[in-house]
Amino acid sequence: MKKILLTLCAAVLTGCPFGSPAYTEWLMGTVCTVRFYGKSETAVAGNCFEAIREIERKISAVDPQSEVSAVNAGRQQTVSPLTGDLIAVSLKTAAETDGAFSPVLGRLTALWGFSGEAPRLPADEEIARLLPAARLSAAVYDSERHTVTLKSRQCAFDFGAVGKGYASDAVKKICEEAGATALIDLGGNIQTVGTKPDGTPWIISIRSPLTVGPAEAATLTLSGDWSLSTSGDYQKFFYENGVKYHHILDPATGKPADSGLRSVTVVSQRSGAETDALSTALFVMGETKGIEWQRRNPDVGVIWITRDNRLIVTGNLAGAFSPTADSPFTVSTLPLPPSNR
Ligand code: ADP
Ligand code: MG
Tens of pLDDT along 113-161? 998 888 999 999 999 999 987 776 789 999 999 999 998 888 999 999 9
C-beta 280 within 6 A of ligand 1: yes
Q: How far is CA 264 from CA 115, 244, 248, in A?
A: 21, 18, 12
C-beta 165 within 6 A of ligand 1: no
Choice between 320 and 2, residue whose per-residue pLDDT is larger: 320
C-beta 302 within 6 A of ligand 1: no
The answer on pLDDT for 264 being more than 50 is yes
The answer on pLDDT for 20 being more than 60 is yes
Amino acid at 271: S
Best residue among 30, 159, 248 to mutate for probing ligand 1, ranked by most atoms within 8 Å of CB: 248
Mean pLDDT of the chain: 91
d(CA 189, CA 204): 11
| pLDDT for the residue numbered 337 | 77
Answer whether 174's CB lies under 8 Å from 48's CB. yes
Structure confidence at residue 235 as a pLDDT band (50, 70, 90): confident
Amino acid at 302: V
Work out the average pLDDT over 193-214: 94
Tens of pLDDT, residue by residue over 272-301, are: 999 999 999 999 999 999 999 999 999 999
d(CA 71, CA 78): 8
C-beta 167 within 6 A of ligand 1: no
Best residue among 247, 265, 276, 285 to mutate for probing ligand 1, ranked by most atoms within 8 Å of CB: 247
Work out the average pLDDT over 233-250: 92
CA-proximal residue: ligand 1, atom 15 (nearest): 160
C-beta 134 within 6 A of ligand 1: no
d(CA 266, CA 223): 16
Best residue among 87, 280, 289 to mutate for probing ligand 1, ranked by most atoms within 8 Å of CB: 280
Structure confidence at residue 330 as a pLDDT band (50, 70, 90): very high
| pLDDT for the residue numbered 115 | 84
CA-proximal residue: ligand 1, atom 8 (nearest): 231
CA-proximal residue: ligand 1, atom 3 (nearest): 235
d(CA 321, CA 335): 14
CA-proximal residue: ligand 1, atom 26 (nearest): 161
| pLDDT for the residue numbered 18 | 54
Work out the average pLDDT over 196-221: 94
Tell me how crowded residue 245 is: count the other CB atoms within 10 A of its CB: 19
Answer whether 227's CB lies under 8 Å from 185's CB. no
C-beta 188 within 6 A of ligand 1: yes
CA-proximal residue: ligand 1, atom 12 (nearest): 161
**Model's pTM, two decimal places?**
0.94
